[in-house]
Amino acid sequence: MEMIKASGLKKYYVTDNYEVHALDGVSLSVEEGEFLAIIGTSGSGKTTLLQILGGLDEPTAGGVWIRGNSLKDMTEDERTIFRRRNIGFVFQQYNLIPVINVYENIVLPLRLDGAEIDEKLLEDIVRTLKIGEKLENLPEELSGGQQQRVAIARALMVKPAVLLCDEPTGNLDSVTSMEVISLLKTCAARFHQTVIVVTHQEAIAQMADRILRVEDGKLYNAEV
């Protein structure tokens, strides 16, 4: 079953006297449950693509459908609600709130949405991510790898159909990076999510089911 469809995506910026084509006619299809890696150098357009797929940015042309729902046909408020309920995000920066503990950071999106907290799911997630003993800690008391696990747990708690990860291991050493990606794969399989990871690290990309490469705003099948 097709989970994500993008057709003819273009994203153009006008800078001074010239036009930058961050994305230049990108189309792709991602199946439900697929673990996809998108690789590319800095400035290639891979982060722009991820942001458009997640409804954080709007394309100059083209469209994105998630579970058959067209993002461009939604109002900004509708898109915000859809995103909050269907898409989880994991970024290079952990974006944890420093003054609240790990537990409160994990459940924060649910509190913002006025949703009930599924304590059984939370227990399952933190056990899988091996942070069950850190729930009372503040973020500053954790290592970088542990903070990234908290960020993943927070994304998973909203039970997203899609998990979008932008350089999720960019601040981690190589060993911790592989552990985090392995945990992402484990969680994706366990909680039935479709995952897209944007990375410039080919070793990380090799762990995916499929690899695509972005170069100069265009998308290609990749052999790495």
In the chain, the amino acid numbered 120 is: K
Q: Is pLDDT at 197 greater than 70 in this prediction?
A: yes
Question: For the chain, first and last CA: distance in Å?
Answer: 27
Q: Is pLDDT at 222 greater than 70 in this prediction?
A: no
Mean pLDDT of 176-193: 84
Residue keyed to tokens 């084509």:
21
For position 181, what pLDDT does the model report? 87
pTM of this prediction?
0.88
- Identify the weakest region by mean pLDDT among 128-132, 134-138, 209-213: 128-132
Q: Is pLDDT at 213 greater than 50 in this prediction?
A: yes
For position 223, what pLDDT does the model report? 52
Q: Percentage of the chain with pLDDT > 90? A: 62
Round the average pLDDT of the chain to a whole number and report it: 91
Q: Using DSSP bridges, classify how beta strands 2-15 and 87-91 pair: parallel, antiparallel or unpaired.
A: unpaired
- Identify the weakest region by mean pLDDT among 60-69, 104-113, 143-152, 176-185: 176-185
Q: How many domains in the chain? A: 1
Length of the chain: 224
Both tokens of 68, joined, read 């058959």
For position 224, what pLDDT does the model report? 43
Give the 3-state secondary structure of residue 197.
Answer: strand
CATH number, domain at 123?
A: 3.40.50.300
For position 171, what pLDDT does the model report? 81
Q: Which domain holds residue 191?
A: 2-221
Per-residue pLDDT band for 43 (boundaries 50, 70, 90) equals confident
Of the spans 17-21, 67-71, 115-119, which averages the highest pLDDT?
67-71
